[in-house]
Structures are given as structure tokens and as C-alpha cells.
Amino acid sequence: MFRLVPTCKGRHFSRYLPRIRTHYQLCSTAANCIRVSSHGLENNNKEIDFELLFHSCTKTHLAKGLHALLVVSGKAQSIFIATKLVNLYANLGDVSLSRHAFDRIPKKDVFTWNSMLSAYVRNGRFLEAVICLYEMLLTSEVRPDFYTFPPVLKACGSLVDGKKIHSWVFKLGFEWDVFVAASLVHMYCRFGSVDVAHKIFNDMPFRDQGSWNAMISGFCQNGKAAEALNVLDDMRLEGMKMDSVTVSTILPICAQMDDILRGILIHLYVIKHGLEFDVFVSNALINMYAKFANLRNAQKVFDQMVARDLVSWNSIIAAYEQNDDPNAALKFFGGMQLNGIQPDVLTLVSLASIVAQSRDHKNSRSIHGFVMRRFWIMVDVVIGNAIVDMYAKLGIIDCAHKVFEKIPSKDVISWNTMITGYAQNGLASEAIEMYCMMEVCKDITPNQGTWVSILPAYSHVGALQQGMRTHGRVLKTGLHLDVFVGTCLIDLYGKCGRLDDAMSLFYEVPRMSSVPWNAIISCHGIHGHGEASLQLFRAMLDEGVKPDHVTFISLLSACSHSGLVDQGRWCFHLMQEYGIKPSLKHYGCMVDLLGRAGFLEMAFDFIKSMTVQPDASVWGALLGACRIHGNVELGKYASDRLFEVDSENVGYYVLLSNIYANVGKWDVVDEVRSLARDRGLRKTPGWSSIELNNRIEVFYTGNQSHPQCEEIYNELEILTAKMKSLGYIPDYSFVLQDVEDDEKDHILTSHSERLAIAYGIISTPPKSPIRIFKNLRVCGDCHNATKFISKITEREIIVRDSTRFHHFKDGICSCRDYW
DNA sequence: ATAGGGTTAG
């Protein structure tokens, strides 16, 4: 037995040092040995308390010292001690030293093997754990026991591995052990075989807390909340109490099922049973309250925590971020840093969203850089997607695309994010192109998010045929009954001029929420069917659906398009009765409603009565109204205010120059135009599109490059002659250049909407309807001309521009008071 | 001396 010399100082150990070095080369200095052993030296001439020594090894170098000590004393020969060393190194996180010690044990028993296995598993080295099991089974004489299997079941990386291990369990007769069975349940659930797991669970002769929890969490992780709750009920019927594990499993389910009551009851249970000091439980509570948008309670739970970990901080940050309070979220991030907690991937995911919400361009770069330096994009799709989303939301779409391309294994969400990014930045054709590229990827299956990202892109460019093909695919997945997908489809048909189809879809989707109502009200609005919109709104109220702020935007703009001034004002007041504070968008709609109807002064007074500072959209609405009614003076005033708040939007310069061109003040027109030019602004190029044979054909103003260009201009020439004989007089006020009348004629006839219409006429059978999309507002002269064209060609011509539909038939347009 | 079940996401 090794005994210590009475005075333990360095020199006594230094005697052994050379041997230690040559044997193991593990111990760096004698001092380490001494530090380690000093605990055992309290009583001289007594045996070292190795138990205590093992406990005092809190760092790898101390463990190495102890190891050396044990070797020198010959104690390391004992399989008992050697196995302890394997465990010690594993607990310190150094698996390779565990393995090193393990390899030096000449005759390993089952304890040794089990320790090595769990050493791997506890350190996340799953593959090596499985290999080690095979080593044990195939190269050693040692028979595994029921301690062997739970760790490796946790380690197996696929269902195939798991099944193989299961067959060993079966062969060796350990399947009735509670721990082994629970591990099997957990393993099968992990790979989605919940049914197999449930069968094993049901066949278990005895179930302890852990096995119940395994089954409940198994159902939860496979999205079977109802089944999980059933198991929970069974558990309580058998007299088993919920522990902290059960609670932290079940709380996310309450959030997912929107079961506030159950969540609160569980919180009470937690308090009653003293589980509130468990970090997992508190974290789960914070997350649940955040999902219920109950920030007060989330905050309360967070505040009363004794010890907060990374997840606690991430949860409270996400709580505020997801409830639209990026500033508070950022404050907590600061708090996290003050507490010395290092952010992880999920922290950065929240930060990316915070930055996007607060339109913080500068910090978006820092976040990107932080993530890149850690190579997180390489290891985690989620953060890559979050960065793509951040850039897309900030409108920095090319950066979004660059990051997207760097994501090594893109998933559906990566694609959906990119498609949505393009679509929401007005780049619908890029969005469609992205979707087509995605369809080629075999390993990507479109999901609900895909449909809600691509369908709005189709509606935006009016790709009805492509949209309908997608509708077919959606039907196969059954997702057309999903509120959001259904609403996108309603929007698609509505915005492509198929109001009837939109209506019949509307009657199919669930209508408990305001979402589909808002869409159908808006669709009727842009078709100029304001009365129908109001009727739908009343039906909505009758069905007990609560209108939200979007409802009123749809409604107000519907009234505006149909000139329903009184009804619009009624809506505006009603909105406040519903406790909805008017936003700038609502104010903008009201100004548009009053102004468009000719009540310019009233509109102006309305702006003056606003409690919030009017923004560009409000002044823009007034300016637009002045354009329609030719009020130069008020238009000038509106534009002055407008350029104070937004001097970057070209559209407003065009509007203002329109007003002056209308009254022939060409010098001022030039002034306005040069003002825009000086600010580096260029007119958004106008384009019109038409869908033929599943293809979208786009025409830009003055387009000369179309293969059928000559035929198109010929057709227009013939049409113009016929139109003139019917009394068409070109309105030159829409020509913003001060040129000769001949030139003006030509400019008007080469407007993109006219090119698209002419192309439609020569490319489709006579008398079939023509559907045109225009990205800007339809020009007033083209509007007038289209009336004549519809009469001459006996065609229905449907033009959707940036604000509404124009339905031309027999020389009449459905929209009233245009221009 | 060795074992299972838990919280955050785009």
C-alpha cells in the first residue's frame, strides 16, 4: 500500500518524476501531483483518501497528476481505479484521455466498457460510442448488461443502428429493464417510429417516471400533442405525479395548442410542488408565456429565477423580439453580455430578427460578420436562413442571395425565405425563378410556407395560369384548406380578375379568423365593388369574426375606389369603436377617400386634425387627389410637405410634374424633373405584362426589341386611326415632355399598356378577353384609349394596375371617376 | 465504478 512521507513537499515527489514522465508523459509538473494529493495529506501516515482525490480533480491537469500518482503507487493496476479514471476524464470533457486510460487496461470488464461507452455519449461523441459498442460485442468476451444499452441507444444515429441495437437487447434479454425500455421508446420516437415506441411502452411491465416522460416527449416531438396529453392523463390516473421533466415537456405543447388555461394550471402546479426553481421549467414557462404574448408573466418568471442559463436569456430575448419589441429584446441581450453569458446560434437568430425589425442596417453587417467568423453558417441552416431573412427584410436583397448561396445544405425554409424575400421586395419574377430552381431539387418538398411565398408572387405579376398549376399541386397536398394558403389563393384569383373563383374559394376555407375576410374584402375593393366589400364586412361581423387593422385598410380603400365617402367615414369611426387606433395607413386611405371624391379641403382639414405626424403616404394621397382634380396650389403645398418627409420617392415628383404639365406650366415641369434628377432619382420604368401560353410577356414603355414589334406598332396605328374616327382625342397632358404633337402621339402610343394590349389582340382569337398587368398606375390617356379599343375589337379588356382593376367592355370602364 | 426521460429557432 502506498503511504505518504510525513512532509509532502515537491522534493519527495520529484524522485518519482522521471518515471512518471517516461511511463505516461501525462504529468507536466510535480507541483500538479502535490496539489492534487494535498487533500489527502491531512493526516500523516494514513492512507490517501482516493475518494476525496477523485472529487478534487476539477481540471484535466489535476486529473493527470492523480493519474500519475496512481500509476506510481501501483494503484492504477486495479480495474476499479482504472475505470474510475476513465470516468474522471470523461467528466472533465476529455474523451481522448478516457480512451487512453481505457486502452491501457489489460483485462476489461463490463464496468469498464460501459464507462467508456457512456464517456463517449456524455461528450456527444455518438459515432465513436456506437463503434465502441461493436468493438465490445465483436472483439471482447465481455457480455453486455442492462447498463450497456441506454447510452448507446441515445447515441445511435439512425433507425437502422437503433434496430440493430434493439435486436441485441432482445437477444440478451434486457428488453424488460425499465431504463432499457425507456431508452428504446425514446430512440424510436427520435426517428419518427412513434407507433413502435408506443407498443414497447404499452408492453412494459412496470413504468417509472422516466419512461412516462420518454413516451410523452416522444409524442410531443412528433407533433402528436393530443396523444401526448392522453399519455399524461394515463400517467396521472396511475398515481404518478408530474416532475420537472414532465412539466418542461408539456409546457411547449400548451403553447402549441394555444391552451392558455392548461398552461396556467401547470404553472400553478409548478408553484405548488416547488418545481419553479428548476431552470428547464422556468425556461419553458418563459417560452410559453411569450407564445401567448403575455410578456408580463414571462418577465415575472425570468425575474424570479435564481440561476439563469443561456436558454433563459435566449428565451427572454426571443420573447420580446417575437412580440415586436426589438428595443427591449436588445436590452436583455445587453444584460446577457453583462452576466458573461456567451451568445450562441439561437441568440444570433433572435438578434438578426431584432435588427430587421428595427431597420438597423449598420448592425446587420456586424451580425453577419459575427456569424461568419464562427463559421456558423456552415454548421446550422437556421442561422443561415435567419441572416437571409434579415437582409431580405432590410431590402438588401443581393446580400440575402449571396448568403443563401453560401448555405451548404439548404432546406425548404431556406428556399421559402429567399422566395419571400424576392417577392416582398417587388421582385416577383426573381421569386418565381427561385421557385422553379427549388422544384428541380429532389430533396426539397414544398410545404405550407412555400405556397404562401410563391402564390403572392404569381398574383403580383398576374401569372394566373402558373398560379392555377400551383393551385393543382396545393390541392394534392390538401393544404388549400389551410387559412393562409387558402387566403393566398383567394388573393391570386381576385388579383387576376377571377372574382367568382375567389369567392368560391372563400366559402371553402375556414373563416373564423379575419385573414380570409380581409383578402376577399380587398379583392372586391380593387374591382371597384365597394358595396360588395361593405356587405362582406357586415357578414363578417354577423359571423362574429373580429375585424383587425388590416380589415379596415381593405375596407377604407374599397370605399375610396368606389367613391363611398360616407360609408368610408363610418368605417373610420367604427374602427375606433373596435379599439383599433388608426395607423398612418388608415389616415392615408381616408385622405385618398376624401380627396379622390373631390373634397380636397376636407381632406386637408383631416390631415391637420391628425394626432400623429403625417407621413409620405398621407401627403402622397393628397397630392394624388390634387392631380385628379387639378388643384395646383394645394398640390404644391402637399408636395412641399411630402419632400420634407420623403424626398427619395420618384413617384411623387412624377405626380407633381403631372399637375404642372396638365396646366401647361412646362418651365415648372422642368424644374421638378431636374430636382428629381439632382437627387439622383430615376423614374421607375413602367411595364405591362400579359400571360400567354403559361408565359408572362413583359413590355416596357417604348419597347422596340420584341420579335413581333413591327406587327404590334402596325396594329396600334390601325387602331388609333379607327379610334380617332370614333372621337378619340389624345390627352397630351400625360406626356411629360414638351415636344411637338406628332411626337406626343408617338409617346402615348408606345406606353407599355398599349403595347401589351396590341400584342394581346394579335396573339389571341378574336373577341376573347385580354388581361393586362401594369406595375404603375394606368395612364389617363391609355385609360381613355382602352375604352375605344374595347369597343372596336369587341373584347373585354381587364387591366390591373398598382391600385385597382379597370374592366373595359363596350367602350365603358367599370371604374368611376378615373382621373 | 457504469444507465433512460426535459426548455429556446429561421
Report the C-alpha gap between A532 and A554 in whole angstroms.
12
Residue A46 has pLDDT above 70, yes or no: no
Judged by C1' against the alpha carbon of A252, the nearest nucleotide is B7
Report the C-alpha gap between A728 and A786 in whole angstroms.
10
Is-contact A404 A371, C-beta < 8 A?
A: no
Q: What is the 3-state secondary structure (H, E, C) of A531-590?
A: HHHHHHHHHHHHCCCCCCHHHHHHHHHHHHHHCCHHHHHHHHHHHHHCCCCCCHHHHHHH
**Looking at residue A77, what DSSP letter applies?**
G
Alpha helices in A394-447 (DSSP H): 397-406, 412-424, 428-440
Strand B contact at CB of residue A424, distance < 7 A: no
Judged by C1' against the alpha carbon of A346, the nearest nucleotide is B9
Residue A678 has pLDDT above 90, yes or no: no
Closest CA to A631 of A593, A671, A604, A667: A604
- Reduce the DSSP state of residue A680 to 3 states and report it: coil
Highest mean pLDDT (candidates A7-16, A77-86, A330-339, A624-633): A330-339
Residue A48 has pLDDT above 80, yes or no: no
Q: Which three cell numbers stand for residue A315?
A: 428565451
**Looking at residue A309, what DSSP letter applies?**
-
Q: What is the mean pLDDT of residues A610-631?
A: 89
How far does the CA of A190 sit from the C1' of B7, in Å? 17
Strand B contact at CB of residue A283, distance < 7 A: yes
Strand B contact at CB of residue A541, distance < 7 A: no
User: Within 596-635 of chain A, which residues have Cβ less than 7 Å from strand B?
Assistant: none
CATH number assigned to the domain with residue range A582-684, chosen from the 4 options 1.25.40, 1.10.40, 1.10.287, 3.40.50: 1.25.40
Report the C-alpha gap between A140 and A522 in whole angstroms.
74
Judged by C1' against the alpha carbon of A174, the nearest nucleotide is B3
Return the nearest residue to B6, CA–C1'.
A245
How far does the CA of A317 sit from the C1' of B10, in Å? 15
Strand B contact at CB of residue A343, distance < 7 A: no
Residue A735 has pLDDT above 80, yes or no: no
Strand B contact at CB of residue A182, distance < 7 A: yes
Q: Which three cell numbers stand for residue A76?
A: 492504477
Strand B contact at CB of residue A186, distance < 7 A: yes
- Tell me what pLDDT residue A457 has: 94
Side-chain-side CA neighbours of A363 within 13 Å: the count stands at 12
Taking only the tens place, the pLDDT of each residue in A120-158 is 999 999 999 999 999 999 999 999 999 999 999 999 999
How far does the CA of A146 sit from the C1' of B2, in Å? 10
Least confident of A192-196, A264-268, A352-356, A668-672: A668-672
Report the C-alpha gap between A61 and A711 in whole angstroms.
86
- Tell me what pLDDT residue A661 has: 82
Q: How far is CA A555 from CA A240, A241, A460, in A?
A: 55, 53, 20
Q: What is the mean pLDDT of residues A591-614?
A: 91
User: Percentage of chain A surpassing pLDDT 70?
Assistant: 93
Domain boundaries, chain A: 176-240, 582-684, 687-813
Query: What b/e readout covers A506-533, taking b as 16+ CB neighbours within 10 angstroms?
Result: beebebeebbbbbbbbbbbbbbbbbebb
How far does the CA of A113 sit from the C1' of B3, in Å? 13
Q: How far is CA A414 from CA A207, A351, A398, A447, in A?
A: 42, 18, 15, 12
Strand B contact at CB of residue A183, distance < 7 A: yes
**Sheet with A805-809, edge to edge strand ranges:** A695-700, A687-692, A770-774, A797-800, A805-809, A812-813
Judged by C1' against the alpha carbon of A246, the nearest nucleotide is B6
Report the C-alpha gap between A757 and A118 in whole angstroms.
74
Taking only the tens place, the pLDDT of each residue in A763-798 is 999 999 999 988 888 888 888 899 999 999 999 999
Strand B contact at CB of residue A134, distance < 7 A: no
User: Percentage of chain A surpassing pLDDT 90?
Assistant: 65
Closest CA to A267 of A247, A287, A240: A247
Strand B contact at CB of residue A345, distance < 7 A: yes
How far does the CA of A115 sit from the C1' of B1, in Å? 8
Report the C-alpha gap between A651 and A326 in whole angstroms.
31
Residue A36 has pLDDT above 70, yes or no: no
Closest CA to A595 of A570, A571, A568, A560: A560
Give the residue with greater pLDDT, A462 vs A36.
A462
> What angle is formed at CA A432 by the lines to CA A426 and CA A436, rounded to 5 degrees?
160
Strand B contact at CB of residue A446, distance < 7 A: no
Q: What is the mean pLDDT of residues A228-253?
A: 95
Taking only the tens place, the pLDDT of each residue in A527-560 is 989 999 999 999 999 999 999 999 999 999 999 9
Confidence of residue A572 (pLDDT cuts 50, 70, 90): very high
Strand B contact at CB of residue A390, distance < 7 A: no
Return the nearest residue to B9, CA–C1'.
A346
Q: What is the mean pLDDT of residues A636-657?
A: 85
Query: What b/e readout covers A107-138, taking b as 16+ CB neighbours within 10 angstroms?
Result: ebeebbbbbbbbbbbbbebbebbbebbeebbe
Sign of CA dihedral A775, A780, A786, A787: positive
Residue A42 has pLDDT above 70, yes or no: no
Strand B contact at CB of residue A353, distance < 7 A: yes
Q: Which three cell numbers stand for residue A474?
A: 396545393
Report the C-alpha gap between A691 and A682 in whole angstroms.
28
- Specify the residue for cell string 380589415: A551
The residue type at A678: D
DSSP string, A314-348: HHHHHHHHHTT-HHHHHHHHHHHHHTTPPP-HHHH
Residue A727 has pLDDT above 80, yes or no: yes
How far does the CA of A419 sit from the C1' of B10, in Å? 14
Taking only the tens place, the pLDDT of each residue in A98-125 is 999 999 999 999 999 999 999 999 999 9
Taking only the tens place, the pLDDT of each residue in A49-98 is 777 778 888 888 888 888 888 888 888 889 999 999 999 999 999 999 99
Judged by C1' against the alpha carbon of A110, the nearest nucleotide is B2
- Tell me what pLDDT residue A15 has: 41
Side-chain-side CA neighbours of A119 within 13 Å: the count stands at 27
Taking only the tens place, the pLDDT of each residue in A602-612 is 999 989 998 88
Is-contact A56 A34, C-beta < 8 A?
A: no
Task: List the beta bridge partners of residue A129.
Answer: none
Taking only the tens place, the pLDDT of each residue in A694-721 is 888 888 887 778 888 888 889 989 989 9
- Tell me what pLDDT residue A817 has: 54
- Reduce the DSSP state of residue A813 to 3 states and report it: strand
- Reduce the DSSP state of residue A695 to 3 states and report it: strand
Residue A14 has pLDDT above 70, yes or no: no
Strand B contact at CB of residue A381, distance < 7 A: yes
Judged by C1' against the alpha carbon of A117, the nearest nucleotide is B2
Residue A653 has pLDDT above 50, yes or no: yes
Taking only the tens place, the pLDDT of each residue in A383-427 is 999 999 999 999 999 999 999 999 999 999 999 999 999 999 989
Strand B contact at CB of residue A228, distance < 7 A: no
Residue A35 has pLDDT above 80, yes or no: no
User: Within 561-600 of chain A, which residues have Cβ less than 7 Å from strand B?
Assistant: none
User: Within 291-330 of chain A, which residues have Cβ less than 7 Å from strand B?
Assistant: 309-312, 314-315, 318, 322
How far does the CA of A174 sit from the C1' of B3, in Å? 12
How far does the CA of A86 sit from the C1' of B1, in Å? 10
Strand B contact at CB of residue A83, distance < 7 A: yes
Report the C-alpha gap between A74 and A643 in whole angstroms.
88
- Tell me what pLDDT residue A630 has: 86
DSSP string, A226-250: HHHHHHHHHHHHTTPPP-HHHHHHH
Mean pLDDT for chain A overall: 88
How far does the CA of A278 sit from the C1' of B8, in Å? 16
Strand B contact at CB of residue A413, distance < 7 A: yes
How far does the CA of A213 sit from the C1' of B5, in Å? 5
CA A348 to chain centre: 14
Do the bridges between strand A797-800 and strand A770-774 make them parallel or antiparallel, or are there none, so unpaired?
Answer: parallel
Q: Which three cell numbers stand for residue A799?
A: 387591366
Judged by C1' against the alpha carbon of A381, the nearest nucleotide is B10
Strand B contact at CB of residue A483, distance < 7 A: no
Q: Which chain B positions have some atom within 7 A of a protein CB? A: 1-10
Judged by C1' against the alpha carbon of A187, the nearest nucleotide is B4
